[in-house]
Chain A
Amino acid sequence: MPTEGIQYKYKSTNLVDSEPNKFKERELRSEEMIINLGPQHPSTHGVLRLEVLMDGEVIKDVVPHLGYLHRCFEKHAESVPYNQIIPYVDRMDYVASMNSEHAYAMGVERMLGIADQLPKRVEYIRVLVAELNRIASHFIAIGTYGMDIGAFTPFFWVMRDREHILRLLEWTCGARLLYNYIWIGGLYYDIPVGFEERCSEFINYLKPKLSELETVLIENEIFVQRTANVGVLPLDLAINYGVTGPMLRASGLRFDLRKVDGYSVYPELEFTIPIGEGKKGTTGDCWDRTWVRMQEIHESVRIIEQCLERLQKEHKRTKEFDPQAFVPKKIRPAAQDFYVRAENPKGELGFFFRADGRSDIPFRCKARACSFSNLSVLPEISKGVLVADLIAIIGSIDVVMGEVDR
């Protein structure tokens, strides 16, 4: 038998030699058992493995095991120039790449000191595509969450509507998920001719669909029964765990970096920040988190409408407009440490840079992933719940493992 070229040798221990459990079997009490959930399980939203310590059907502790989608973002980032990191940034939160790109590009521009020079049209296009992507990301969150809970139809509805967004974005930059569209100092291309009209058409189409989705899923009695009063996350705990984004807002804090930091052109746009009010149960439960996401879609729609209006009036397409006009030929920030943060669909995405001032490659580029911190609260809020509720809680956190593991 040729051994040349065979990478994987079968050993009977391979199966049990997976990531070791935190709890030891021999230390369990008589009624307790360890159940392994994932990593290949549809309800864990990717490759999340949970080691669940249970007493009967009641969960006593949950230990998340991460790293199944670890792709060494930070190691790669130490070996390529700033502009070439953008594709890697895309692949972190792969359902909201535009938002991640926006945060990253903004950070590097601020380090270079060119953040204020960018044309308004560039900023509005950035916000436009980022908000479109935010809707797509929330669609995934709500749709797959419905599927976790047992509602199959809404998933197809949101995937249908998300498809329109993906096609719009594909038309803009040629890619459906991983765009590399927002560049440091500008954009890859201007938005295509006719995009504004098609996008407004889509928005008009989307609005009734949103209320339809709300009626069928969010207000649905079965859905409410499954999610209200489940996985309640108190506000102080949320802040202490560094939870951000819709999860933090569902716990009752009106905190959105688009308002707090007011980056890009968000201060010029009109939108409100929805917070969880405990309408169906307790503030900060799974239903609130989903409801907040739903309301955020409405707000994103409002932002998109305003962006489209301004892109057609004040910041119209002109022949002279070059989206790459301010893209620096050489990206070499002065030696400094820089932390930048922005509001992603899932929370605060932060980048920590250390530039040494001598090279085009960052000395250190760390991503503070929102899903990572949001997921860390899972053991805390799932103690004492039933297994079915654990699935409901995981879905409501809306993790993207690509971002947790980077």
Chain B
Amino acid sequence: MNNCSKKKNNMLEFSQLAEIVKGITSNILLDEKSTPKAVIVPSADIKKLCQELHQNPSTFFDMLSCVTGIDNGVETNTMEVVYNLYSVPFNHHLMIKVILHRENPEVDSVSTIWRSADWLEREVFDMYGIKFMGHPDLRRILMPADWEGYPLRKDFKHQEYYRDVKVEY
């Protein structure tokens, strides 16, 4: 971090990052309204893409800051997982979104690439029921293990009693 000027020179613009993403997976959409700017990629390619972005010496996204699940509601019938990537040496950001079907939301886990994904994905699973394939330990993390349903889904109705305690207070 000593040579900030060098860092800026190597920093890639979003268009360059998007080119690199296009080289790995076709069929992507760009979302320039987001901050940081985002690419929407097919869910099947997420692991391959993250692996490449993590290893590629010109991108080198070594930190996964945030994994967010989003439920778009029953009408849209989709869910999303949003990954916020950050590169410490180059200081560039990228947001990656994958869109999943609401009935059976499944996506490959990236926890083998970034260990921080382990808990972040568990939280998304806990709140939305999105299954991360290949996750080493996909248990609930914040809610009790015997809680019914996924609370952040838009159509979530909580159970009436939890262990004989009324949930509605």
Contacts and interface: CB of A to CB of B under 8 A. Distances in A.
A376 B65 contact: no
Contacts of B31: 337
A253 B118 contact: no
Interface string B36-48: 1010000000000
Given A336-B34, A336-B35, A348 B65 contact: yes
A20 B140 CA distance: 11
Nearest to A340: B35
Contact of B115 (A241, A260, A337, A339): A241
Contacts of B33: 335-337
A372 B68 contact: no
Contacts of A337: 31, 33-35, 38, 82, 95, 97
A337 B33 CA distance: 7
B35 A240 contact: no
Q: How large is the interface on A (under 10, 10 to 19, 20 to 34, 35 or more residues)?
A: 35 or more
B116 A339 contact: no
A373 B66 CA distance: 9
Interface residues of B, number: 44
Which among A7, A19, A337 has the greatest number of chain B C-beta atoms within 10 A? A337
Interface string A3-17: 000011100001001
B57 interface: no
A350 B34 contact: no
B139 A22 contact: yes
Contacts of A70: 142-143
Interface string A371-406: 011001100100000000000000000000000011
A366 to B, nearest CB: 4
Contacts of A66: 141-142
A352 B34 CA distance: 11
A240 B65 contact: no
Which among A237, A241, A340 has the greatest number of chain B C-beta atoms within 10 A? A241
Q: Rank and list the top 9 A-B pairs by shortest CB-CB distance, nearest first.
A: A242-B116, A368-B66, A337-B34, A67-B142, A376-B119, A366-B68, A254-B1, A352-B68, A70-B142
Given A67-B141, A242-B116, A337-B82, 17 more contacts: A7-B164, A7-B165, A75-B152, A239-B63, A240-B62, A240-B115, A241-B115, A242-B65, A242-B114, A243-B116, A260-B91, A337-B31, A337-B38, A352-B68, A368-B84, A372-B119, A380-B115
